[in-house]
Amino acid sequence: MRHLMYFLCALLLPSIVAAQTFEGRAQVIDRDTIALDGLSTRIRLYGIDAPEGRQTCQTSANDKYFCGPKSAEALQGLAGRNGRAICEQTDRDRYGRVVAVCTVDGWDLGAELVRQGWGVEYVRYSDGRYTANEIDARRAKRGLWAGRFVMPWDWRRDERDPA
């Protein structure tokens, strides 16, 4: 029994140690990444994706616009000018960024960005955390859902491998 307990502790310890909490004033880096004052590592919002800076979307009137900057603007509005964020690390991505659920004034930034329609649930990584937010945005035709757009991961793939 003692060996089983040691084994379980050894197995679970890395995941417990890896999880950290970061706090600080949030600065928006791009559509789904923030920085906190005093922290050199950038933080990628957990479970969401957002259009790239050069990605174009269409309004309901078929007018094209750069939707990445609109997403960044929406995130800035959520983070606030002096918004103090609390970020609970869930992982690190392949670029070395901390992946975290970040809240400002108790509001999950990722959930709100998706609910406003300027971000989408990154189903591959989200474990369904933001499904209801995305359904709500789609039904209400908010943000990206008011017109037409290509999912950010598909847009990046097409940019890398044009036909």
Cα–Cα separations (whole angstroms), residue 108 to 3, 5, 104, 128, 161: 40, 35, 7, 15, 34
Q: Residue 72 has what pLDDT?
A: 97
Retrieve residue 108's tokens.
Answer: 């999950």
> Domain of 59: which CATH number?
2.40.50.90
Q: Which amino acid is at 97?
A: R
| Residue 113 resides in a domain | yes
**3 state SS of 4:** helix
| Residue 27 resides in a domain | yes
| Residue 161 resides in a domain | no
Per-residue model confidence as pLDDT tens digits over 91-130: 999 989 999 999 999 999 999 999 999 999 999 999 999 9
Bridge partners of 121?
48
Percent of the residues in the chain that have a pLDDT greater than 70, as a whole number:
87
Cα–Cα separations (whole angstroms), residue 85 to 116, 126, 129: 19, 20, 19
Residue 102: which domain range? 19-149
Give the integer Cα–Cα distance in Å for 113 and 121: 10
The count of domains in the chain is 1
Rounded to whole angstroms, the maximal C-alpha distance in the chain is: 67
CB 24 within 8 A of CB 36: yes
Q: How many residues does the chain have?
A: 163
Which pLDDT band holds residue 162 (cuts at 50, 70, 90)? low
CB 51 within 8 A of CB 71: yes
Lowest mean pLDDT among 10-24, 67-81, 96-110: 10-24
* Predicted TM-score of the model (pTM): 0.86
Give the integer Cα–Cα distance in Å for 88 and 37: 16
Q: Which amino acid is at 39?
A: L
| Residue 29 resides in a domain | yes
| Residue 9 resides in a domain | no
| Residue 154 resides in a domain | no
